[in-house]
Structure 1
Amino acid sequence: MKPSVGAAAAVALWGPAAVVSASVVSMDVMRTSEMHRGLSKRSTFVETLANNITGGAYYIDVTVGTPGTPARMVLDTGSSDAWIVSHTADLCTSRSLQVIHGDTCATTYDSAKSSSYSLQAADGFSIRYLDGSRAKGDYIKEDFTIGGTTIRSMQMGLAKETVRGTGILGVGFSTHVAAPEQYPNIMDELVRQGLIPAKVYSLWLNDRRSPSGRILFGGVDTQKFIGTLGVLPLIPDVSTGSITSFTVRMSSMSIEFSNKTVSEVPARNASGVPALLDSGTTLSYLPASMAEKVFRLTSAYTDTRPAGTGLTFVDCKLLDSERGLNMIFSFRSPGMNGAAEETTTIRVPAHEMVLDVIRGELEDLVPQDMPFPPRNTCLLGIQSTSGFASVASGLAESDWTLLGDTFLRSAYVVYGIDHRQVGLAQANLNATESKVVELSNSTATGLPRLTGLASQAPGTGTDGKPPATGTDAASKPNGAVRAARGSGGDMFAVLAVSGLFASLGGAFMAF
Structure 2
Amino acid sequence: MARLAAHLLLASSLLSLAAADGTLRWDIQKNHDVQAAQLKARSLALQRRALGERADTLTATLDNSIQAGLYSANISVGTPAQSLSVQIDTGSSDVWIPSSQASICSDEKDGGCPGGSFDPTSSSTYVDVEPDGFNISYVDGTGSTGDYFQDTFAIAGGEVKNFQMGLATNTSIGIGIMGIGYNSSEANVDTGNGTIYPNLPYALANAGLINANAYSLWLNDLQATSGSVLFGGVDTAKYTGDLISIKVYPSSYSNRVTSFTVAFTSLSATSSSGTDQLTPSNYAEATILDSGTTITLLPDDVAQAVFDELGATVSNELGATIVPCSLASNPGTLNYGFGGPGGPVIKVSMEQLVLPLTLPNGKTPTYSNGESACQLGIQAAGDLPVLFGDTFLRSAYVVYDLDNNRIALAQTDFNSTDSHVVAFPSSGAPIPSATSAANEDQVTQTASAVPKVGGGSAAGSGTTVTFNPTATGFSAASGFGSSAPTSTGGGKKSAGPSGPEPFRWAPVFVLGATLVGMLAGTGIFALL
The interval holding the TM-score normalised by the smaller chain is: 0.7 to 0.9
Deviations 1:11-51 (A, max 9, x none): 998966465841101022122265xxxxxxxxxxxxxxxxx
- Counterpart of 1:437, as a letter, is V
Match of 1:73?
86
Question: CA–CA distance in 1 between the matches of 2:460 and 2:148?
Answer: 28
The one of 220, 223, 228 equivalent to 1:209 is: 223
Aligned to 1:325: 332
Say whether the 8 Å CA contact 1:229–1:471 is kept in structure 2.
no
Q: Secondary structure at the match of 1:407?
A: helix
- Residue 242 of structure 1 corresponds to which residue in structure 2? 256
Determine the structure 2 residue equivalent to 1:406.
Answer: 391
Match for 2:430 among 446, 457, 471?
Answer: 446
Deviation at 1:363, TM superposition (A): 4.2
Shift of 1:500: 2.9
2:22–2:58 CA contact under 8 A, matched in 1 = no
4+ residue runs over 6 A deviation = 11-14, 491-495, 508-511
Distance 1:27 1:313 in 2: 35
- The yes-or-no answer on 1:423 pairing with 2:423 is no
What residue in structure 2 maps to residue 500 of structure 1? 466
Instruction: Trace 1:12-411 onto structure 2 (pairs within 5 A).
Output: 17=41, 21-32=54-65, 34=67, 55-93=68-106, 95=107, 98-99=108-109, 101=110, 103-179=112-188, 180-181=193-194, 182-257=196-271, 259-266=272-279, 270-304=282-316, 308-320=317-329, 323-332=330-339, 342-358=342-358, 361-363=361-363, 376-386=372-382, 389=383, 400-411=385-396
Cα gap change, 1:148/1:372 in structure 2, threshold over 3 Å: closer, same or farther? Answer: farther
User: Which deviates the most, 237-246 or 205-214?
Assistant: 237-246
- Do the aligned residues in 1 keep the contact of 2:90 with 2:181 (CA within 8 Å)? yes
Partner of 2:506: none
2:361 counterpart letter in structure 1: E
The 2-side partners of 1:331 and 1:234 are apart by: 11
Identity of aligned residues (%): 34
Contact preservation (8 Å) 2:137, 2:470: no
Separation in structure 2 between the aligned mates of residue 275 and residue 291 of structure 1, nearest angstrom: 14
With over 3 angstroms needed to count, the CA separation of the structure-2 counterparts of 1:209 and 1:170, relative to structure 1, is same
Q: TM-score normalised to the size of structure 1?
A: 0.74
| Unaligned 5+ runs, structure 2 | 1-20, 30-36, 49-53, 439-457, 476-528
Report if aligned partners of 1:12, 1:433 keep a CA contact under 8 Å in 2: no
Does the CA-based 8 Å contact 2:26-2:156 persist in structure 1? no
- How far, CA to CA, are the matches of 1:348 and 1:278 in structure 2? 16
**1:202-227 CA-partner distances (Å, limit 9, x unpaired):** 01011111133111110111111111
Contact 1:359 1:375 survives alignment (8 Å): no
Q: Which residue of 1 aligns with 2:453?
A: none
With the length of structure 2 as denominator, give the TM-score of the two structures.
Answer: 0.72
| Matched letter for residue 499 of structure 1 | V
Does the 8 Å contact 1:66/1:116 carry over to 2?
yes
Counterpart-to-counterpart distance in 2, 1:494 and 1:23: 41
Cα deviations across residues 85-128 of structure 1 (Å, max 9, x unaligned)? 111111123x3xx53x4554430111111111111111111110
Residue in 1 that maps onto 2:13: none
What code does the residue aligned with 1:84 have?
I
Asked whether the 8 Å contact 1:178–1:510 carries over to 2, the reply is: no
Q: Is the 8 A contact 2:96 2:178 kept in 1?
A: yes
| Secondary structure of 1:30's aligned partner | coil
Q: What amino acid does structure 1 have at the position aligned with 2:94?
A: D
Q: Structure 2 vs 1, CA of residues 498 and 148 (structure 1 numbering), >3 Å: closer, same or farther? A: farther
Letter in 2 for 1:352: Q
For 1:475-499, what per-residue CA distance to the aligned partner results, in whole angstroms no more than 9, with x for missing partners?
A: xxxxxxxxxxxxxxxx97899x972
The number of equivalent residue pairs is 411
Contact 1:31–1:211, Cα closer than 8 Å, also in 2: no
Q: Check whether the contact 2:26–2:59 (CA below 8 A) recurs between aligned residues.
A: no
1:296-353 alpha-carbon deviations (Å, 9 max, x no partner) = 111111113xxx2321111123234xx21111111126xxxxxxx5221111111111
